[in-house]
């Protein structure tokens, strides 16, 4: 059956991240896979303010994001990738009918992971916040999550410096990409020094992944 095949695939991926994918994830995985076509995914709205390019390649973009409501879950496991995978599974359950509306909410991208580095930006902590942007039609009245760990928050407007990168988003690649973005920015001191965001446009089980590093401009 398709559901069993997809669950087995996610369980195999989960083992690679030292994460147990329980059998009750079969329905959310199947539903999200069936409905998560790229043309059906709503993007978090933003306005491009400027771009820095070199030889026709975009090195980073400066963007403005309006205020919006997000479903957020804080996760703390032994490893960064464990925390992100478990947070994503909780988000999947919320999207796939485990909410007060009882409906499939629709996928938005990116799913973001907020990382607070504290004093040392060189270490990627395993305590993270994983967040899902509520689709436009649900922004005024977001369905309540059944999971008490999920909280609906309204984020204020923010200016973001975003750099795209492919492949797995793990401790090594994130540290490399944050260092690259810091080097590329003309005035990195304008950004928060203890917080950044990893934005994922593909789910953790995808073979080819699209990610971004976001630096947040000080308000």
Q: What does the pLDDT look like over 149-168, one tens digit per residue? A: 999 999 999 999 999 999 88
CATH number for the region 41-217 comes to 3.20.80.10
Radius of gyration of the chain (CA): 17
Answer yes or no: is pLDDT of 81 > 90.
no
CA–CA dist 197, 214 (Å, integer): 5
Answer yes or no: is pLDDT of 35 > 60.
no
Distances (CA, A) of 118 to 78, 115, 121, 125, 127: 18, 9, 7, 9, 11
- Quick one: pLDDT band at residue 127, thresholds 50, 70, 90? confident
pLDDT of residue 166: 92
């Amino acid at each position: 059956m398709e559901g069993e095949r997809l669950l087995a695939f996610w369980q195999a991926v989960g083992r690679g991240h030292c994460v147990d994918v329980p059998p009750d994830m079969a329905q959310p995985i199947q539903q999200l896979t069936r409905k998560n076509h790229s043309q059906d995914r709503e993007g978090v709205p933003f306005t491009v303010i400027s771009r820095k390019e070199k030889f026709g390649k975009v090195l980073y973009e400066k963007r403005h994001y309006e205020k919006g409501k997000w479903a957020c879950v804080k996760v703390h496991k032994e490893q960064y990738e464990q925390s992100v995978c478990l947070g994503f599974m909780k988000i999947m359950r919320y999207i796939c009918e485990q909410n007060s509306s009882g409906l499939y909410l629709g996928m938005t991208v990116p799913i973001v992971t907020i990382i607070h580095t504290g004093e040392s930006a060189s270490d990627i902590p395993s305590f993270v916040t994983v967040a899902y942007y509520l689709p436009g039609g649900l922004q005024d009245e977001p369905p309540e999550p059944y999971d008490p760990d999920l909280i609906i928050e309204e984020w204020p407007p923010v200016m973001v410096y975003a750099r795209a990168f492919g492949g797995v988003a793990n401790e090594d690649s994130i540290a490399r990409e944050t260092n690259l973005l810091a080097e590329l920015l003309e005035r990195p001191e304008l950004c928060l020094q203890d917080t950044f965001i990893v934005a994922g446009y593909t789910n953790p089980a995808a073979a080819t992944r699209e990610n971004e590093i976001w630096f947040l401009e000080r308000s």
